[in-house]
Amino acid sequence: SQTIHQWPATLVQPVGSPLSLECTVEGTSNPNLYWYRQAAGRGLQLLFYSVGIGQISSEVPQNLSASRPQDRQFILSSKKLLLSDSGFYLCAWKSSGNTIYFGEGSWLTVV
Amino acid sequence: QKEVEQDPGPLSVPEGAIVSLNCTYSNSAFQYFMWYRQYSRKGPELLMYTYSSGNKEDGRFTAQVDKSSKYISLFIRDSQPSDSATYLCAMSLMDSSYKLIFGSGTRLLVRP
């Protein structure tokens, strides 16, 4: 069966520090992968998506970047965090049946 | 105007009630509709998905889509305290990206 792993689950980072969130999917190949952000009490905002290795589409201009170095690995990064980058970051993948499943998320607090 | 509108609630109902959750959307090109349940500090869990207008039932849950009115609903029968969560509607164009556009979520509280 397919599973999605996302880490770290929680992190507190100072303003100006770098960020790396990692997501891997098991049990499938060449899935569409997504990074979403959810601000407190809000819906999900799509940040990046990827339809294949090295293919990244950005939805929102911001302080973040994404990379897909391997088929089932998706990484969200920042060189210098801002206070406004705080939030709940969710990785997701699309199944062959066109359903989209989410990981457990990473809580980021920038202080 | 947001592409997907959803009443944030909170919606408070007694146990056993029928719950109706709704979303409206503006883009008539949306083809694929999903409902997610999200417990506090957890990732969203897929509940229901449908491509077409009409009803789709799964246990206590029924998803309803009216493309002519650009309106979707999720009904929960015999609601339980464990149904207390935030419910998110989402929809997609079914292009190569299949990216989902979400409503802001409705917080539901089912009182014992």
Q: Which tens digits make up the pLDDT trace of A3-15? A: 899 999 999 999 9
The pLDDT of residue A93 is 95
DSSP string for B11-36:
EEEETT--EEEEEEES-TT--EEEEE
Q: Which of B38, B49, B107 is the best residue to mutate to test the A interface, defined by the most A CB atoms within 10 Å of its own CB?
A: B38
A75 with A20: CB under 8 angstroms? Answer: yes
Q: Which tens digits make up the pLDDT trace of B24-53? A: 999 999 999 999 999 998 999 999 999 888
Q: Cα distance from A107 to chain B (closest Cα, Å)?
A: 8
Distance CA A66, CA A19 (A): 11
Within an 8 Å CB–CB cutoff, is residue A7 touching chain B?
no
Nearest to A43 among B41, B43, B102 (CB): B102
For residue A85, the SS3 value is helix
The verdict on a CB contact (< 8 Å) between A99 and B88 is no
Nearest to A102 among B8, B44, B94 (CB): B44
Task: Provide Rg for chain A, Cα atoms.
Answer: 13
Q: Which tens digits make up the pLDDT trace of B58-92? A: 999 999 999 999 999 999 999 999 999 999 999 99
Q: What is the DSSP letter of B70?
A: T
Average pLDDT, chain B: 93
Low-confidence residues of chain A, pLDDT below 50?
none
Within an 8 Å CB–CB cutoff, is residue A31 touching chain B?
no
Spell out which residues of chain A touch residue B94, defining contact as CB-CB under 8 Å: 98
pLDDT at B6 over 80: yes
Residues in A 68-87 with any Cβ partner in B closer than 8 A: none
Lookup: tokens for B110:
């089912």
In angstroms, the Cα distances linking A10 to A6, A14, A20 are 10, 14, 12
Spell out which residues of chain B touch residue A106, defining contact as CB-CB under 8 Å: none
Residues 6+ apart with CB under 8 A from B69: none
Within an 8 Å CB–CB cutoff, is residue A42 touching chain B?
yes
Lookup: tokens for B4:
């997907």
Distance CA A89, CA A109 (A): 11
Would you call B97 exposed, middle or buried from its count of C-beta atoms within 10 A (0-12, 13-18, 19+)?
middle
